[in-house]
Amino acid sequence: MRRAGPILLVLLVVALAVLAQVADVPDGAELRALVDGAGEAAPLVFVAVCAAGTAVFFPKPVLATAAGLLFGVGWGSALAVAGFTAGAMIAFGVARWLGRETVAGWLGERLAVLERVFARRGVEATLVVRLLPVVPFTLANYGAGVTSVKAAHFALGTALGLVPSTVLAAVLGDALSDLGSPRSLVALALWGVLAAVGVWWGRTLVTQAARA
């Protein structure tokens, strides 16, 4: 199982990614209809949808913007963060179980530096990953599972890192009828600022780990 684990993990991730591309993914209107149909259980249904969707490469922006449309910015953001964090932990747990022990023996010098970052400063490293829009959210969840980051640190860093991007997406979702509005333009600009902060912070962590 130790040798087969990483192979199974790669096959699983590839299969889920391909399935997400070819499957008939519900759009925002269909998602809203599904959640609205749950009545008083709508918040719990939405959290469950976010958790399951996060683990199987469902487009996270669709869920985040739907949160704002369905529940408003504040409540919708809280539900989305809870669901995304739960889904991230599912993917993290699967990857940790299948690939961590074997992958630990394959690390070269460059990867060893990243390993030290996640081992020593797991919350910060996870926060950085969450601030970088170029890193696919679900792929990062599976990737984190084969690092030495502690599960608690990964969960905390994920929850904290999700707050700004999810709130911004919820704001945009709440204003989809007018994407040219000042509120939407400010949200997009702030998204760019968060990405720049993530790049700077990530370089700093890697540089410090390389010198250690």
The model's pLDDT over 6-52, given as tens digits with 9 standing for 90+, comes to 667 667 777 777 776 666 666 667 777 777 777 888 899 899 989 98
Specify the amino acid at residue 30: E
- For residue 192, give both structure tokens: 């760019």
Q: Is the pTM of this model over 0.85?
A: no
Specify the amino acid at residue 210: A
* Distance separating alpha carbons of residues 211 and 55, to the nearest angstrom: 35
Express each pLDDT in 151-206 by its tens digit: 999 999 999 999 988 887 777 765 555 556 776 677 777 778 888 888 888 888 87
pLDDT at residue 110 is higher than 60: no
For the chain, the C-alpha Rg in angstroms (whole number) is 18
Express each pLDDT in 73-95 by its tens digit: 889 899 999 999 999 999 898 88
* Distance separating alpha carbons of residues 110 and 104, to the nearest angstrom: 13
Which positions ≥6 away from 123 have C-beta within 8 Å?
153, 156, 157, 160
What's the mean pLDDT in 135-151?
A: 84
List the one residue out of 4, 13, 12 whose CA is nearest residue 136: 13
Listed range (6-10, 94-98, 133-137) with the worst mean pLDDT: 6-10
User: In which region does residue 46 sit, left (phi positive, over 0), alpha (psi from -120 to 50) or beta (all else)?
Assistant: alpha
Burial label, 189 (beta-carbon count in 10 A; 0-12, 13-18, 19+): exposed
